[in-house]
Structure formats: C-alpha cells, structure tokens
C-alpha cells in the first residue's frame, strides 16, 4: 500500500515539475486540455459507474461555461464568484431534473433519454438567447485590462493554467476516491444492483442518487467554466449539447468506467486522437475526427466494453477465485 502512495507522490511531483523544465507551448496546451477534460470525464464517471448514465452533462458543462462568461461580460462579476454561481446553477438544474427521475424511479432508458433531452434543451436555450450568448457563433469573455488578470481569472502563460488544471484534476481524482471509499458507495452499489433490496435495507435511494448527481453536476460545471476561462472562447457545440455528452461517455468507456484513472486515460486517448486527426486531415476536413470517434465508440462498446484500462487491468490481475467478489 505504501509503495502505491509513493508512486502517486512521485508521479504527482513529476507532473508539477514538468512545466518548469519543459515549456513547449503546444504540448503544454494539449496537456491543459487533457487535464480539464479528464476532470470533466471523471465527474461524469462518478455517476456513470453506478449505472446512472447521464447524457445531460453537456448541459451542465454548458451552464458552467456560459453562466460564468455571461456574468463577467454583462454584470462584471469576477469568475471567482461567477464560477461558484454557475456551479450552483448547474446543481439546481441537476436537482430539478434528477429529483423526479429518482423519486419516481425513472431509470435505464428513461433516465438516459430525459438527460439527453436536457442537454439538447440547454443547447437550444443558448442558441435562442443569441442576443446575449452569440448563439451558434460562439462567445468570448471580455479581456481583462492588463494587471487585472488574476481578478478575471485570465492568464496568458500556459504554466499557470497547467498548474490550475493539474490541481483541479487531482481534486477530481480525490473526490472520485472519496465517493469510492465513502459509505454511500455501498449504498450506491446496492442501488445499481437492486433498488428494492437497497430500499429495504434502509438505504435512502433517492437521496444517495441525488448526492452523487449533485457532486457530478457541480464538478462538470466547474470543468465547463475552466474550459471557458482557458480557451477564452466557447460555442454551443464545444461545451454543451448531446455531442459533448456523448463525448464524455465515449472517453470514459474507452478509458474504463470502474478505474479511477480510466476517464483520464480516455481523455488522453481521445484528445490525442482528435488532435492527430485534426492535423492529419488538415483543417478542411471538418467532421472526420468525429466520424472516427463514432466508429471507435461503437467498436469499443461491442468489443471492449470495459475500456482499455479496465481490460488491461483485468488481464494483469490474477484471476479472482470463482467464489470471489463481483
């Protein structure tokens, strides 16, 4: 166990040290993207691993990004306050949709479709309010006057962003671990296996599910807001809608749903893939990256449903005894 902590500590130290010895801006940029999306994917998997497959996370991410940017541009509210507010907004949205779902046992297909509609609707709202949000053309937070970058949470140098993203990513993993370890995990597993049995055992199914959903939505909104602050440009397609939701699911499935680093692996693979495709096909070939994405998603679900990391770990692990866990 100690050696595992040591490995984590060494790995983390290396990651922190990295931008101080290696400064190639494009590579750092890719790393920041990977870390932010890893955080978003991790937050999706917190719900997803308990069988709560949400396709509404594109919506939460969109709320996080747009609310933060709109507050800054229109009301001069600093992202330091705007981000928490956007998270609250996403959390409320999550509760409003999730509460009736869980309360009335809307599960499986129904839950997926309801959440899917949620991200579709958030996208519609962003498009409908085009006078404020710029609609499908996208939106840019106002540049802060020089010297006030910290207040506006706008930084020009990649190292700062790298460290912020790294910090958030680590926090995401810690939350994943905390949920994994905490009592509610047993409850949640009982829920995803058999809701009636869980309820009979005294687990408040609705409350447990809501808790997980809330955590997940708050984290996703934070990811959206950070993405906005980092890229300084958001559009409905990149931070909201069904496509973004599916992208999260895709990455988590590729990486592995039941392993803490699975979503991160998924982010590394998908972002490198997207960048590779983008460079390989050139800028003219819009859509090719998503085409390959889609094909891979289907292939993965058919042939490797446990994801890359999950499947590799399965193979590495000594086979559990027949009477063992699972």
Residue 210: alpha-carbon gap to chain centroid? 17
Angle (nearest 5°) at CA 166 between 161 and 167: 100
Q: Among 124, 140, 204, 260, which residue sits at the site for another protein (rule: CB under 8 A)? A: 124
CB 55 to another protein: min, Å: 7
Q: Among 11, 25, 167, 305, which residue sits at the site for another protein (rule: CB under 8 A)? A: 305
Number of shown-chain residues binding another protein (CB under 8 A): 50
- Alpha-carbon torsion 252, 256, 258, 261, what sign? negative
Q: Which is nearer to another protein, 101 or 259 (CB)?
A: 101
CB 39 to another protein: min, Å: 21
CB 160 to another protein: min, Å: 34
Per the document, the length of the chain is 326
Residue 93: alpha-carbon gap to chain centroid? 16
Angle (nearest 5°) at CA 203 between 200 and 206: 110
CB 300 to another protein: min, Å: 8
Angle (nearest 5°) at CA 61 between 135 and 128: 25
Q: Among 25, 108, 276, 280, which residue sits at the site for another protein (rule: CB under 8 A)? A: 108
Q: Which is nearer to another protein, 276 or 305 (CB)?
A: 305
CB 54 to another protein: min, Å: 11
Q: Which is nearer to another protein, 66 or 230 (CB)?
A: 66
If one asks whether residue 137 binds another protein (CB under 8 A), the answer comes out as no
Q: Which of 215, 241, 242, 259 is nearest to 43 (CA)?
A: 215
Q: Among 25, 100, 276, 280, which residue sits at the site for another protein (rule: CB under 8 A)? A: 100
If one asks whether residue 116 binds another protein (CB under 8 A), the answer comes out as yes
If one asks whether residue 301 binds another protein (CB under 8 A), the answer comes out as yes
If one asks whether residue 188 binds another protein (CB under 8 A), the answer comes out as no
Structure tokens at 253: 């499935």
Q: Among 63, 83, 101, 308, which residue sits at the site for another protein (rule: CB under 8 A)? A: 101
If one asks whether residue 215 binds another protein (CB under 8 A), the answer comes out as no
If one asks whether residue 97 binds another protein (CB under 8 A), the answer comes out as yes
Question: Count of CB atoms within 10 A of residue 254's CB?
Answer: 28
Q: Which is nearer to another protein, 141 or 266 (CB)?
A: 266
Distance from C-alpha of 149 to C-alpha of 326, rounded to nearest angstrom: 50
Asked if 217 contacts 270 with a C-beta cutoff of 8 angstroms, the reply is: no
**DSSP-based helix, strand, coil % in the chain, nearest 5:** 80, 0, 20
CB 104 to another protein: min, Å: 3
Distance from C-alpha of 24 to C-alpha of 116, rounded to nearest angstrom: 39
Torsion of CA 45, 316, 177, 105, to 10 degrees: 40
The burial class, CB within 10 Å (0-12 / 13-18 / 19+), for 200 is exposed
Question: Count of CB atoms within 10 A of residue 197's CB?
Answer: 11
CB 238 to another protein: min, Å: 13
If one asks whether residue 277 binds another protein (CB under 8 A), the answer comes out as no
Structure tokens at 272: 């490198």
If one asks whether residue 311 binds another protein (CB under 8 A), the answer comes out as no
CB 108 to another protein: min, Å: 6
User: Footprint of another protein on this chain (CB under 8 A)?
Assistant: 51, 53, 55, 96-97, 100-101, 103-106, 108-110, 112-114, 116-118, 120-121, 123-125, 127-128, 241-243, 246, 249-250, 253, 285-291, 293-298, 301-302, 305
């Amino acid at each position: 166990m100690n050696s595992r902590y040591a490995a984590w500590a060494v790995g983390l130290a290396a990651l922190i040290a990295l931008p101080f010895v290696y400064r190639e801006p494009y590579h750092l940029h890719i790393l920041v993207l990977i870390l932010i999306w890893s955080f978003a994917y991790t937050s999706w998997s917190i719900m997803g691993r308990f069988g709560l497959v949400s396709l509404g996370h594109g919506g939460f991410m969109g709320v996080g990004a747009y609310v933060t940017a709109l507050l800054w541009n229109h009301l001069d509210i600093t992202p330091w306050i705007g981000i928490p507010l956007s998270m609250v907004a996403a959390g409320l949205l999550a509760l409003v949709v999730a509460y009736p779902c869980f309360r009335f046992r809307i599960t499986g297909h129904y839950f997926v479709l309801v959440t899917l509609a949620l991200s579709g609707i958030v996208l519609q709202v962003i498009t409908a309010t085009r006078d404020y949000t710029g609609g499908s053309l996208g939106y840019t937070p106002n540049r802060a006057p020089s010297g006030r970058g910290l207040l506006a949470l706008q930084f020009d140098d990649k190292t700062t962003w790298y460290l912020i993203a790294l910090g958030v990513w680590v926090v995401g993993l810690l939350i994943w671990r905390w949920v994994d370890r905490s009592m509610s995990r047993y409850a949640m597993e009982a829920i995803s296996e058999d809701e009636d049995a869980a309820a009979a055992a005294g687990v408040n199914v609705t409350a447990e599910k809501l808790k997980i959903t809330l955590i997940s939505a708050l984290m996703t909104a934070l990811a959206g807001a950070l993405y906005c602050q980092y890229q300084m440009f958001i559009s409905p397609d990149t931070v909201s809608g069904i496509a973004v939701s599916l992208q999260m699911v895709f990455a988590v499935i590729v990486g592995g749903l039941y392993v803490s680093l699975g979503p991160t692996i998924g982010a590394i693979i998908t972002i490198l893939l997207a960048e590779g495709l983008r460079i390989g096909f050139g800028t003219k070939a819009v859509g090719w990256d998503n085409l390959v994405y889609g094909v891979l998603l289907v292939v993965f679900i058919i042939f490797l449903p446990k994801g890359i990391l999950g499947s590799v770990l399965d193979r590495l692990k000594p086979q559990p005894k027949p009477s063992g866990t699972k």
